[in-house]
Amino acid sequence: MTYVICEPCIEVKDSACVDVCPVDCIHPLPDADEFEETDQLYIDPEECIDCGVCEPECPVEAIFMEEDVPEEWDEFIEINAEYFE
């Protein structure tokens, strides 16, 4: 399992989750060139250690454990993974 960032993050990209992530698995970073080019932030499923510290930091409640992603946002599981391919 991993955490997934879903639709509420689109166009918000609040980086509070990035600041608390102990393994730096949330991208793009706010100072990266691609930050302005992306619609949302993404969690790398290979790097995420499932610690959960990002979830309560998200002001728009866009972060879910993969198994808890609401059905209407299931496609975000793949969207997050594809960003890192």
SS3 readout for the chain = CCEEECHHHCCCCCCHHHHHCCCCCEECCCCCHHHCCCCCCEECCCCCCCCCCCHHHCCCCCEEEHHHCCHHHCHHHHHHHHHCC
- The mean pLDDT of the chain is 95
The pLDDT of residue 61 is above 90: yes
pTM score: 0.94
CB 38 within 8 A of CB 15: no
Q: What is the pLDDT of residue 18?
A: 96
Domains of the chain by start residue, with CATH: 3-83 (3.30.70.20)
pLDDT above 70: percentage of residues in the chain = 99
- What average pLDDT score do residues 49-58 get? 96
The closest alpha carbon to 28, from 20, 39, 74, belongs to 39
- What average pLDDT score do residues 27-52 get? 95
